[in-house]
Structure 1
Amino acid sequence: MGRFLEYLLIAVYIAVLLAISHWIGQWSYSWMPPEATAEAQKVDSLFSFLTSIGAFIIFGLVSMMLYSVIFFRAPKNDYSEGHPSRGDLKLEFLWTAAPTLLVLWLAFQGFNIYQQLDILGLQQVVHLHTPLDSEPVYAAAIADKPKPASETIEVFVKQWDWTFRYPNNITSNELHLPVNLRTRLNLHAQDVLHSFYVPEFRLQQYVVPGRSIDIVVTPTRIGQYKLKDALFSGTYFALMDANVQIESLEQYNQWLSHAQQEPTTNENQAVAEYTQPPKTWLKSNWYTVAPAPRAIANERKVMNDT
């Protein structure tokens, strides 16, 4: 009867611990910016599960330590060693198999989510080296199979400017996306390495010069967000942002028509910072790329992809 009661209390404790851990995992959704894409929901689900697992482990370990300190304290002047757990095959198998299975499951889920993000263009060429060759041998390109999308928007990034080219060669310094439709973004870096990052998309993608990289996003939340360059690419990289507008398909088509008829010029904040007099007594003499004034935006024209 005593052993049964002990097992019952352990089961109740584990159930309470699971409930608390699950609640913390659900609470973790509020720690992140609002989800704006279907891909963000997959990432947040994995993050919530990791939070629940972490909470279960930390609360379980701390409670076991407190329980041991309170109920299994050694008497004063008792310096004998406790019962060794070494040699207990069941216990050793448990604490080896459980973490191994958990890590393998997490790796599978992470790989599965990465595959669903549909990022293409990173592994298009295989470089083969042989011991006698000083230069790599380029093997055949790997054929990527892009998933279907409603339309493709070309994204061009350079110091210190984001530019977007829409169907019918409409260009803009703002990224407009129709809600609930899969849109392919074809990323091009025109000078150095940059990073496409929208926190609400849960997506950060390096943009490599000389390589076309495709990502597919499915916006689910209407609103305005910020695109940032999350990679240090020069003095004014923190000013490299652009507005991201997710809107209904009707509003998106109206914006395209309006952009075609009324070109506008947007201010480049990097130019304003560069033209200001220095605020320090000593100059660093570091080489700085002079920002070019932003060209006319929302204009119907054809851009070079390089």
Structure 2
Amino acid sequence: MRLKSIIILGAIAIALVAISIWMGQVSYSWFPPQASAESVLIDKLFSLLTAIGTFIFLGVTAAIVYTIIFNRAGRYDTSDGPPIEGNVTLEIVWTAIPLLIVFVIAAFSYQTYMEMSIRGPMEMAHMQMPKAISPAYAESIEESVPPMTNIEVEAKQWSWVFRYPTKNITSTELHLPVNQRAHLVMRSPDVIHGFYIPAFRVKQDIIPQQNIDFEFTPIRTGKYRLRDSEYSGTYFAAMQANVVVESAEDYQKWLADAATREPSPAPNQAATEYALREERADKAAWATVVPAPAPVVNYHP
């Protein structure tokens, strides 16, 4: 009987593991396409967390359902249960297993963070990376010339402005060469903004009056969306911009084309909506911040 129980429990455990691994693989389809080296790392971590969570959820649910079905008291049984005071083996197991899971998740998360090496505003983020861990952008740095795309980013209520120092070009659309490490220096003159590109799986808060270093590596050509992930005021939902990842040749062509354009005011939804609001006789009752003037840039879509 004991051997039979072991075989049944083993079969159930194998089935739960298989389902959990399958669910972890399915989780990759829940996100936008992987458009950066960091997105590959983040999705691996999320897949692991999904698989572990699935195994725990199904295991606990199966145990509860089994107990309800096969260990119910009789209809007229009002007696007390057995006087069990404790089980040392069980207590060791349910303490050791969660502890082990936490250590595995912590180690995998730490390795993922170090491989991403996205930097940030904190001094801790600029520490030297352990030699045992290769950064996500190692291959792109070796293969690309120049190895880094340097761009200045200004986030303000409510627009994004990108400046390319090497060409002295400004744009409201972020252009990046594929497979080349991007280094952004971000700043905000007013409130906290959040630089967030879902397809890249990267996010960084921009603190007012501070220069924030941020790095990532785009690996897939296409057009993506940059959003402000922090509530920054009335028109924050309109604070979005296109992110265009293109080949190195197309990127250089775009820089050359943008350099020939005279700076002009870019369309700005927040400024436009505010102007219409002020023109109305029955102005909205709520107070709001006056949007910054529409940015004057070389290039806007």
State how far apart, in whole Å, the 1-side matches of 2:23 and 2:86 are. Answer: 36
Matched to 2:47, the amino acid is S
**Mapped contact 1:197–1:227 kept (Cα < 8 A):** yes
Helix, strand or coil at the partner of 2:225: strand
Post-superposition offset of 1:84: 5.8
Question: What displacement does 1:124 show?
Answer: 3.7
* Structure 1 residues 26 and 155, CA gap change in structure 2 (3 angstroms): same
For 2:290, the equivalent position in structure 1 comes to 289
Asked whether the equivalents of residues 158 and 191 of structure 1 are also in contact (C-alpha less than 8 Å), the reply is yes
Q: C-alpha offsets along residues 204-225 of structure 1, whole Å, 9 cap, x if unaligned?
A: 1100122211111111111101
How far residue 144 of structure 1 moved from its aligned partner, in angstroms, is 5.1
Give the aligned partner of residue 274 of structure 1. 274
Whichever residue aligns with residue 158 of structure 1, its letter is K
Following the alignment from structure 1 to structure 2, what is the Cα–Cα distance between the partners of residues 282 and 296?
31
Counterpart in 1 of 2:241?
A: 242
- Pair 1:247–1:229, CA change in 2 (3 A): same
CA shift in 2, pair 1:97/1:143, >3 Å = closer
**Cα distance change of structure 1 residues 261 and 85 upon mapping to structure 2, 3 Å threshold:** farther
| Equivalent position amino acid for 1:286 in 2 | A
In 1, Cα distance between the equivalents of 2:260 and 2:152? 20
Structure 1 Cα separation of the partners of residues 283 and 257 of structure 2: 48
Which residues in structure 2 correspond to 1:257-268 (within 5 Å)?
A: 257-263=256-262, 265=264, 266-268=266-268
Across the two proteins, how many residue pairs are aligned to each other?
282
Which one-letter code corresponds to 1:151 in the other structure?
A: T
Distance 1:8 1:205, change over 3 A: same
Instruction: Identify if the C-alpha distance between structure 1 residues 33 and 82 changes in structure 2 by more than 3 Å, giving closer, same or farther.
Output: farther
The answer to whether the 8 A contact 1:178-1:247 is kept is yes
The one-letter code sitting in structure 2 at the alignment partner of 1:267 is: P
For 1:139, the equivalent position in structure 2 comes to none
For 2:60 and 2:99, how far apart are their aligned partners in 1? 18
Q: Match for 2:162 among 161, 164, 167?
A: 164
The TM-score with structure 2 as length reference comes to 0.85
Q: Paired residue for 1:128? A: none
1:143 and 1:24 map into 2 onto residues whose CA distance is 36
Q: Decide whether the 8 Å contact of 2:167 with 2:259 is kept in 1.
A: no
Relative to structure 1, the CA distance from residue 25 to residue 96 in structure 2 (aligned partners, 3 Å threshold; closer, same or farther) is: same
Q: CA deviation at 1:56?
A: 0.9
Provide the secondary structure at the position in 1 that maps to 2:10.
helix
Question: In the alignment, is residue 106 of structure 1 matched against residue 125 of structure 2?
Answer: no
What does residue 211 of structure 2 align with?
Answer: 212
List runs of 5+ in structure 2 lacking aligned partners.
Answer: 130-134, 136-140, 142-146
Aligned CA distance change for structure 1 residues 240 and 99 (closer, same or farther; 3 Å): same
3-state SS in 1 of match to 2:243: strand
Aligned twin of 2:122: 123
Q: Report SS of the residue matched to 1:57.
A: helix
Identify if the C-alpha distance between structure 1 residues 84 and 150 changes in structure 2 by more than 3 Å, giving closer, same or farther: farther
One-letter amino acid matched to 1:103: V
Partner of residue 199, structure 1: 198
**Selected match of 2:151 from 150, 153, 157:** 153
Q: Residue 24 of structure 1 corresponds to which residue in structure 2? A: 23
Provide the secondary structure at the position in 1 that maps to 2:232.
coil
> Does structure 1 retain, via aligned residues, the 8 Å contact 2:148–2:180?
yes
Q: Which position in structure 2 is the counterpart of 1:177?
A: 176
RMSD between aligned residues: 2.5
1:40 aligns with 2:39: yes
The amino acid of 2:294's aligned partner reads P
Q: Which moved more, 1:112-121 or 1:165-174?
A: 112-121
Q: Tell me the amino acid that sits aligned with residue 271 of structure 1.
A: A
Residues 121 and 211, structure 1, Cα contact 8 Å, conserved in 2: no
Contact 2:156/2:292 (<8 A) preserved: no
Give the SS at the match of 1:33: coil
Give the whole-Å Cα distance in 2 for the aligned partners of 1:86 and 1:100: 24
Deviations along 1:239-266, one digit per CA (max 9) or x if unpaired, are: 1111100111111111111111134643
Partner Cα separation in structure 2 for residue 46 and residue 91 of structure 1: 30
Which amino acid is the alignment partner of residue 205 of structure 1? Q
> Aligned with 2:72: secondary structure?
coil
Identity of aligned residues (%): 41
Structure 1's unaligned 5+ residue stretches are 126-141, 300-306
Answer yes or no: is the 8 Å Cα contact 2:161–2:295 preserved in 1: no
Q: Secondary structure at the residue paired with 1:16?
A: helix
Q: Distance in 1 between matches of 2:182 and 2:79?
A: 68
What code does the residue aligned with 1:296 have? V
Partner of 1:105, secondary structure, is helix
SS at match of 2:160: strand
